[in-house]
Structure 1
Amino acid sequence: MAKRNLYLDTKPVDEAAALYLAALQRTVDIQYETIPVSEALNRVTRHATYAKYCSPLFNASAMDGIAVISQKTKDAAETEPVVLKEKEDYVVVDTGDPIHPPYDAVIMAEDLVETEEGVLIIASAAPWQHIRPIGEDIVAGEMILPSSHKIRPIDVGVLLSAGITEIEVVKKPEVAIFPTGTEIIEPEQTPEDGNIIESNSRMFENMVTEAGGAAHRFPPIMDDYKQIRDHIAEAVGEYDMVIVNAGSSAGTEDFTVHVLRELGEVLVHGVAIKPGKPVILAIVKGKPVIGLPGYPVSAYIGFENFVEPVLSMMGQTPAKRRESVTAYISKRLVSSLKHKEYVRVKVGKVGDKMVAAPLARGAGAAMSLVRADGFCVIEQNSEGVEAGDPVKVELYREKAEVENTVVIIGSHDLILDVVADMMPDRHKGMFVSSTHVGSMGGLMALKRKEAHLAPIHLLDETSGQYNISYIKTVFGDEKMALIKGVGRTQGILVKKGNPLDIGGIEDLAGCRYVNRQRGAGTRVLFDYKLKQLGMEPEQINGYDREAATHMAVAAAVGSDGADAGMGILSSAKAMDLDFIPIGPEEYDFAIPQSYLDLPHIQAFLEILRSEDFHRRLDELGGYSYEHAGDVVLI
């Protein structure tokens, strides 16, 4: 009498999966390969990838029209039009043409009146009007993609725009699929009495592909012990994973479990799930071999519960499914009645509600798609939505990922990219989303409960201390905390060799300057230094020209779009600029005390305190971290 397989001790699904994955993590090495970016769709990055070039590569006209010297247009008005002469006062430009000094503004063709004397204008042109500055979309040296990131079509375009042509990715797991059973036939064959048309393996092929693997389906194997053993033994030598379909149950011709016990180790035979009980989880020569039941629904459920997690581990990414959620928009969005508009948003769960923070809406802002978590759709015939209104968001990421995202809104620093890169690697399923609006903007977002953390570096002119007095002023008696971040040095960024011999802020009066936005801590410090020197903002040429990040300031200086700007040492190093120190400051994180115990906030604190984070700060340069991760209750 043939021997039956008995599995009297079935395991709970979660326990079986956890046991199997834990064993595989000890035996399976993740494989990597370098491939062309053009072939990288849906692949998973090994390391963070940084831009080689800026985009645009040069200061470019954003309109068809003429490039002018803004100073020569300052007196133009409807009552006193000004006539400009070609080559003397302007040059004709088309959209995308480079703009070179001395020209610093573009006037649209629609605003010009051609006369015999020249081109007539009736309004002055502001400096940098209708010009896309170098690095407006992508800045050389900034992180384009973090590690463990699944590459999307827009990512491929942005990588190529940034000069990246090859990228190291996780190698696709190669999966061998064997249908078994004397009674099964191929779909092309004519069935006879007792035959079953085999289809599960084709379903597995597509599920493997959808999960990021490379599927290799083989013809059916008869219910013969030696044939099954020989095929599996050969396959584990050539492929990363093997799926055996049917033959996993308790029948007298279900040989799979006996074969796997001979060839390797069976960790689980039978799980407490219906349908789908007869699942085999084995390891042969250090590789996963999974036996799935023959009934289609059971096979499908078994694949989802056991094969997909293994492929996710080997491919370093979970399966993605598009979801829609209701979120509350963080700022007012005005839209045209003529269009249905898709606004790119960052999404996170703050307290008991989803919050959607709009990203750049411009047609040239490709990086907003890379950073987006999804779309907020504004329907046609709507004028927009008000801040705080509920909106429908179509997610790029799974809802669980969004809910495990640390939402950071406030001052910019390169360390936010470092933390965002480290988070999913050190804490699987957790992420960081950062939006740069300046220190005061971050505190206001925190006050409106739109963020977990607000990075700030605000100097109290009276006490000379950083940050705490501002938190007390904004939040009053509310229980707040300050997570200590990094010490860093603020200074003046100038071209290599400091050609204008700038020694300090007092030397900026005759230079082209690029400032930070209102509410940014760097601008607060700059204003404080101006006041100390008895200088007026009007003395600074470019005081009203604003950049949103330290890297954008560095790009402007490095591209000859400005002579100087205030920023941090790491941004100067990234763009190969000289740096004139102005003074140290404290870059910290404001947070309500009620958020401190959230798992993803605890993960954030772990990273700030970690040696790996400190090592990466040393590589960037210009940071101290003695108190990083310390929590001060306010």
Structure 2
Amino acid sequence: MAKRNLYLDTKPVEEAAELYLNALRPVVTIQYETIPVTESLNRVTRHATYAKYSSPLFNASAMDGIAVISERTVAATEVAPVTLKEKEDYIVVDTGDPIHPPYDAVIMAEDLVETKDGVQITASAAPWQHVRPIGEDIVAGEMILPSRHKIRPIDVGVLLSAGITRIEVVKRPRAAIFPTGTEIIEPEDTPREGSIIESNSRMFENMVIEAGGEARRFPPIIDDYEQIRDNIAKAVSEYDMVIVNAGSSAGTEDYTVHVLRELGEVIVHGVAIKPGKPVILAVVEGKPVIGLPGYPVSAYIGFENFVLPVLAMMGQTALKKNEVVTASVSKRLVSSLRHKEYVRVKVGKVGDKMVAAPLARGAGAAMSLVRADGFCVIEQHSEGVEAGEPVQVELYRDKAEVENTVVIIGSHDLILDVAADMMPNLHPGMFVSSTHVGSMGGLMALKRKEAHLAPIHLLDEETGEYNLSYIRRLFGSGKIALIKGVGRTQGILVKKGNPLGIKGIEDLPGCRYVNRQRGAGTRVLFDYKLKQLGIAPEQINGYEREAATHMAVAAAVGSDGADAGMGILSAAKAMDLDFIPVGPEEYDFAVPLEYLELPHIKAFIEILKMDEFYKRLDELGGYTYERAGERILNI
């Protein structure tokens, strides 16, 4: 029977990192090299560096004009000008020219009046006026840069001015990166069922470079003990660090920990972090070898917490500190007492407070990293936080960008991605952030002052009216404006060719269905239609199976995870599915009146009225937009 790896003891993050660094410090050798100063940007100095020459190298004119003997100008006034003769009383100089005795001052060209006898001056020149003395900027022998200093562009210029052309710096740590797994394929290969396109190693490669190291990514290694062992052993002899991706967990083919125990010492296996528990921190022949989990988010968080500190130690750099802000979390977050959890969040400023909207929490949700503005950290031994509670968020975007972001929480539609793409191009420095919680979830976010806009498409079953009655019931009148969005067609998404011959909702009993989440306008419409047809929800196989977006519904149907689901035409087109229309609806934006004059809200509304926006909607298909951007006030 294949052997499983068991986590006998998962260590807290800080303890694991400190244990590992303490194990590495006595054995890791910091290496140095001497390079041209012209190639030293962002490198770290080994020693303090001292000037070889002064700057300027001589007394130099600071202006275009004439060099004069100052005592010969003493009598000059506006009422009694003094005339100076060239080569007797002055010489012509340009900025940077040497100033030699007996000349000891410079008069600017614009303060001179030329005459046939020379130049006339109307004010005296003080000794050393407009003269840069030797060493004014740099004095030979003075320290220019201290040790362990990261060289900036200005530093390069000063070093060269001081006569320094070569400098000893910390050698960049070189990392070997190995993706592992029999199921792994390269991005250019054609995937088959069971294939996983390898991408983590390329992420690691760029993270190493960004941290000041050098990286070499090797081709994937299949799940074979000897191959993994031999590749790691060879890399340890040639590189400063080895990173092994996947194979670090408790599976029967997760060999990495056994290999590292054979080759060296495993300091830590298993960290109390979520996602990212199966981290391996080992030392082989005095070099760090780190095993990171295969799920993208786990891999990223493991790299940030354990690889970056090691690179900083080896490269003699300081760890980058992201800005931390206090934000109100938009929904309840339940967490395990056993782990320190990293929750990806979208962040925006609504009114006078920062709001953090949690994104997908799965370890494989790589897009949550792309969409995230930062991480909300729930410490170990905490059961989580309630909606509305303050949390600390480590920002991965500039705070000014976050403060100029339109925060949209509510129903999902592809037009939000179109607007988000157009906004920074048309209005540099402004952005759109959207979180998809359904129409009712969006209105509740407005009520809690956690969003600027709530996209909604809620049908009133009694009146057949969209959106307005819900706003009146929740907010009363005079507080919310409705910005008209788009008309769109809701329908049933089915596989190409409609193999089950579905003609309408009445044909869904017996099919595998994927539903939208509670509070979503699509689900409200679906329930309304079921009631009209006399179909009980229990008759729908999959009624309780929920997807958060139209694209998630389309993906489930397209991948044979479901036979049908309700959604919009543009999602069906995007996934090459057939579409059976159910009915038109109105997808609009609710916005509190107090936000209407904010520059980024006005910019968003203007986008809704633009021909370029309409062109993009036509390409998606299934939209009408005659009233897009129109305000309905004082509802």
Q: TM-score, with normalisation over the residues of structure 2?
A: 0.50
Report whether the alignment pairs 1:84 with 2:91: no
Q: CA deviation at 1:76?
A: 0.3
- Measured in 2, the distance between the counterparts of 1:322 and 1:151 equals 21
| Matching residue of 2:93 | 93
- The Cα offsets for residues 187-246 of structure 1, whole Å up to 9 and x where unpaired, read as 111211111111111111111111111101101110111110000010001111100000
| Matching residue of 2:230 | 230
Q: Which amino acid aligns with 2:22?
A: A
Partner SS for 1:27: coil
Give % identity: 84
Q: 1:131 to 1:321 in 2, by over 3 A?
A: farther
Report whether the alignment pairs 1:181 with 2:181: yes
Q: CA deviation at 1:320?
A: 3.6
Partner SS for 2:86: coil
| Matching residue of 2:255 | 255
Q: 1:9 to 1:51 in 2, by over 3 A?
A: same
Partner SS for 2:26: helix
Which structure has the larger Rg? 2
Structure 2 matches for 1:167-316, cutoff 5 A? 167-316=167-316
Partner SS for 1:26: coil
Q: CA deviation at 1:2?
A: 1.2
| Matching residue of 1:16 | 16
| Matching residue of 1:158 | 158
- Measured in 2, the distance between the counterparts of 1:274 and 1:132 equals 61
| Matching residue of 1:73 | 73
Q: CA deviation at 1:44?
A: 0.8
Partner SS for 1:261: helix
Partner SS for 1:3: coil
Partner SS for 1:202: helix
- Measured in 1, the distance between the counterparts of 2:240 and 2:96 equals 49
- The Cα offsets for residues 45-68 of structure 1, whole Å up to 9 and x where unpaired, read as 111000001111111111110000
- Measured in 2, the distance between the counterparts of 1:320 and 1:302 equals 16
Q: Which amino acid aligns with 1:260?
A: L
Structure 2 matches for 1:525-544, cutoff 5 A? none
| Matching residue of 2:149 | 149
- The Cα offsets for residues 507-545 of structure 1, whole Å up to 9 and x where unpaired, read as xxxxxxxxxxxxxxxxxxxxxxxxxxxxxxxxxxxxxxx
Partner SS for 2:38: helix
> Which is worse superposed, 183-192 or 228-237?
183-192
Q: Which amino acid aligns with 1:120?
A: Q
- The Cα offsets for residues 336-385 of structure 1, whole Å up to 9 and x where unpaired, read as xxxxxxxxxxxxxxxxxxxxxxxxxxxxxxxxxxxxxxxxxxxxxxxxxx
Q: Which amino acid aligns with 1:119?
A: V
- Measured in 2, the distance between the counterparts of 1:138 and 1:297 equals 49
Q: CA deviation at 1:93?
A: 0.4
For the aligned residue pairs, the C-alpha RMSD in angstroms reads 1.7
Q: What is the aligned length? A: 327
Structure 2 matches for 1:132-147, cutoff 5 A? 132-147=132-147
Any gaps of 5 or more consecutive residues in structure 2? 326-397, 399-635
Structure 2 matches for 1:112-123, cutoff 5 A? 112-123=112-123
- Measured in 1, the distance between the counterparts of 2:324 and 2:51 equals 32
Any gaps of 5 or more consecutive residues in structure 1? 326-397, 399-634
Q: CA deviation at 1:139?
A: 1.1
Partner SS for 2:223: coil
| Matching residue of 2:319 | 319
- Measured in 2, the distance between the counterparts of 1:241 and 1:125 equals 65
- Measured in 1, the distance between the counterparts of 2:135 and 2:223 equals 64
Partner SS for 2:273: coil
Q: Which amino acid aligns with 2:168?
A: E
- Measured in 2, the distance between the counterparts of 1:305 and 1:320 equals 12
- Give every structure 1 segment of 4 or more consecutive aligned residues whose post-TM-superposition deviation is greater than 6 Å: 322-325
Structure 2 matches for 1:567-586, cutoff 5 A? none
Q: CA deviation at 1:309?
A: 0.6
Partner SS for 2:274: coil
Structure 2 matches for 1:46-57, cutoff 5 A? 46-57=46-57
- Measured in 2, the distance between the counterparts of 1:152 and 1:124 equals 42
Q: CA deviation at 1:319?
A: 3.4
- Measured in 1, the distance between the counterparts of 2:296 and 2:149 equals 32
- The Cα offsets for residues 50-102 of structure 1, whole Å up to 9 and x where unpaired, read as 00011111111111100001110011000110000000000000111111111
Partner SS for 1:237: helix
- The Cα offsets for residues 465-509 of structure 1, whole Å up to 9 and x where unpaired, read as xxxxxxxxxxxxxxxxxxxxxxxxxxxxxxxxxxxxxxxxxxxxx
- Measured in 1, the distance between the counterparts of 2:6 and 2:185 equals 28
Q: Which amino acid aligns with 2:74?
A: K
- The Cα offsets for residues 275-323 of structure 1, whole Å up to 9 and x where unpaired, read as 1110000011111000001111111111111001111111111234686
Q: Which amino acid aligns with 2:76?
A: A
| Matching residue of 1:40 | 40
Q: CA deviation at 1:324?
A: 11
Q: CA deviation at 1:259?
A: 0.4
